[in-house]
Amino acid sequence: MTNSLFLISDKLFKYDLKIFSMPELPEVETTRLVLCKLLLEEKIKLVKVINNKLRYEVPKNFSIKTKNKTIKNIIRRGKFLIFNLSQNLSFISHLGMTGIFRIEKKYQHQKHDHVSFFLNNLVITYNDVRKFGFFKLQNQDKINESKHLISLGVEPLSKEFNANLLEKLLHKKSQNIKSFLMNQKYIAGLGNIYCSESLFEAGISPLKICRRISRSEIKKIVIAIKKVLRRSVKKGGTSLQNFEDPHGNIGYFSNYLKVYNRNGKSCYRCKKNVKISKLVIQGRSTFYCQKCQK
C-alpha cells in the first residue's frame, strides 16, 4: 500500500500505523480500514498490559475480559475506535495525540508500548509516547451509553449531515464558525486541521459568526467538509513530519493542505499577492486567507 499513513513492508510483514499530528476523523478512519482488513474474525489469544499508565489506566480486568474473544468488527465514532468482540463485549480506544497501533508477525518491544494483543499469526501493539490515549471496556449492547460516545454529534460523512441539519445547529449561535466546528457535540471527528481546510474550501472566514452565515454558505460548508474529509481518507490522512515507507513512498494529505501550517505562504486561490494568516482561536492555531475567506 502506498500513499498512506503506514510503514508497510509485505516482505517483513510489518505494519506501523504512525500518525504524527493529532488524529482526526481521516486518520482514525484510515487506521480502522487497515485494522479491519487484517484483524476481522481473528481470535485474541493473549493480551499483555505492558504499561497501564495512559490517560485513564487500562482496566485491571482488560486482559482477562478480552482473552479468547474474536474481533467481529471495528467501527469508528468521531475520533474513537470501537472494537466489537464476540460474546457481547466491546472496547473503546482513543489514540490521544500520539497513539499508534503497530502490527507485527512477532512482537518486538519498543519504548512507549502499552498494550499488546496476541492473535494467531499477528501481534497488535498500542504505542503512545504522550499517553493521552486510552482503552475502555463496554458491553456491546450498551456501547452508545458510554460517556465518551453519548454526547457526540453527527458524523460529517453521513447522509444525516446536510445543509438542513447544519442550519438548525447554527441557528442563533453567537460563536465563530471555527469554534463551532471544533465542538464534538455538534459534529464528531473534526479537529484543527480539517476545520481550517474545510473553511478555506468553502471560502468562509473562521471568524464569521454562526448566526450570520447564509443558507448558500451553509451548503458550501457541508460540501467542503465532506470533500476534504473524503480526500484525506483517500490519501491516508495527514502527517506533518517528513515520512517515507520502506519503499520510499510518500503520499500524506499534508502534501495537499491548502492553509493549515502555511502561514506566510501564498494563498493557492489568490496566488502570490496574498499570504495565509495565522491566528489563535480558543488556544488553537487557525490558518486562513483574509482575502478570499469572507
**Whether 73 contacts 84, CB under 8 Å:** yes
CA-CA distance, 216 to 102, in Å (whole number)?
A: 44
- The 3-class SS string of the chain reads CCCCCEEEECCCCEEEECCCCCCCHHHHHHHHHHHHHHHCCCECCEEEECCCCCCCCCCCCHHHHHCCCEEEEEEEECCEEEEEECCCEEEEEECCCCEEEEEECCCCCCCCEEEEEECCCCEEEEEECCCCCEEEEEEHHHHHHCCCCCCCCECCCCCCCCHHHHHHHHCCCCCEHHHHHHCCCCECCCCHHHHHHHHHHHCCCCCCEHHHCCHHHHHHHHHHHHHHHHHHHHHCCCCCCCCCCCCCCCCCHHHHCCCCCCCCCEECCCEEEEECEEEEECCEEEEECCCCCC
> Catalytic one among 48, 131, 230, 284?
284
> Catalytic one among 23, 26, 156, 206?
23
Active site residue 271: no
Active site residue 185: no
Active site residue 211: no
> Catalytic one among 32, 76, 77, 79?
79
> Catalytic one among 24, 27, 197, 201?
24
Active site residue 42: no
The residues carrying an active-site annotation are 23-24, 79, 284
